[in-house]
Structure 1
Amino acid sequence: MKPFLALVLSSFLTPALGCSALADTAEQPALIQSGEGVNLASFQWHKRPVVVFADSPEDPRFSEQMAYLESEQQALLDRDVVVLTDTNPSAASPLRKALRPRGFMLVLVGKDGGVKLRKPHPWTVRELSRSIDKFPDRLREVEDRREK
């Protein structure tokens, strides 16, 4: 009788747990977004945009950078990072007008809206995380989480 009861209870609890897990993932915004028509000011004080520019989506540096970013998404989400991509130089997007890239470029923008880092070559998530973790506002965030 006990194994049957356990089977019945598990069949009721499993869908409920699965739905809550799906709801949690649905609430999180996409980490990687197209930068087309995006205004950096909309992220101010909420997110740290990492903007990846290239002249073409086939650029090997762009592919390498995206592979780095996709491989360790949780580390970026923990640091409130959103990744914006722009691979169309002829569109003259607001991001291109504001940040003026030449070919491939990785730009890290702080929550205050200021450019914190520009790199002409791909960076790993570890390198980005170490740079972000040195920001005064990131240090404050870590302290606030410890106190709670």
Structure 2
Amino acid sequence: MSAPITLGFALVFALSATLAAPLNAQEAPATAAVEVFAPVDGATADLAAYVWQKRPVVVFADSPNDPAFAEQLRLIEARWPELAARDVVVITDTTLDPASDIRRKLRPRGFSLVLMTKDGQVSIRKPLPWDGREIMRAIDKMPIRREEIRNGAAR
């Protein structure tokens, strides 16, 4: 092989490698793992630990076999990446006795969805399953979330 042909192959190879590579780090595919949907057990959860860190969504039922409970978890899981981006933590509690600290504090009756703010206040209570999109809308209306969006923390 002559030098000009070898140089030509090298240039074609370098050019194709450059075009195949992302132009900058922002265009590179995300290699960070997406947060996996994993509800926290209400028996071990501490709401105080989430103040100013997360927005608790607490799902109560009298039994893990409650169809409304299963439906609510399915609806949340379907929108999990978007909810996780809003700093949501899902806490589940299906144990009546002994009552957890969260159950004693929030006092649900049967199935209940409780959406809390980052400052630890109850924002919304729902007696029926609520779609993930509705949960996100409610979060996006919260003053703290609006401030996050204004400051560029919206993900």
**CA distance in 1: counterparts of 2:104 and 2:42, whole angstroms:** 12
CA distance in 2: counterparts of 1:91 and 1:71, whole angstroms:
31
Q: Report how many residues are paired.
A: 130
Aligned counterparts of 1:119 and 1:82: Cα–Cα separation in 2 = 17
SS of the equivalent of 2:129 reads coil
* 1:62 matched to 2:33: no
Higher radius of gyration, 1 or 2: 2
Would you tell me which structure has more helix in proportion to its own residues? 1
1:33 aligned residue: 40
Give the 3-state SS of the residue equivalent to 1:89 in structure 2.
coil
Q: Who is 1:12 aligned against?
A: none
2:86 maps to 79
Partner residue, 2:26: none
The two structures, once aligned, show a CA RMSD in angstroms of 2.3
Task: Write the mapping of 1:1-148 to structure 2, written as runs, cut at 5 A.
Answer: 21=31, 24-25=32-33, 28=35, 31-145=38-152
* Structure 2: gaps (5+ residues): 1-8, 18-29
> Alignment partner of 1:25: what SS?
coil
Distance 1:57 1:95 in 2: 17
Q: Deviations 1:91-135 (Å, cap 9, x if unpaired)?
A: 210110110011100000100100000010000011111111001
Give the percent of matched residue pairs that are identical in Structure 1 and Structure 2.
47
C-alpha distance in structure 2 between counterparts of 1:74 and 1:30, whole Å: 8
Determine if contact 1:47/1:111 at 8 Å carries over to the other structure. Answer: yes
Q: Structure 1 CA distance, aligned partners of 2:33 and 2:105?
A: 32
Contact kept? 2:37, 2:77, Cα under 8 Å: no
TM-score (normalised: structure 1) = 0.79
Letter matched to residue 25 of structure 1: A
| Distance (whole Å) between structure 2 residues aligned to residue 105 and residue 129 of structure 1 | 17
For residues 68 and 100 of structure 1, do their structure 2 counterparts lie closer, same or farther at Cα, with a shift above 3 Å needed? Answer: same
Q: Please identify runs of 4+ aligned residues in structure 1 that moved more than 2 A.
A: 28-31
- Residue type of the alignment partner of 2:102: L
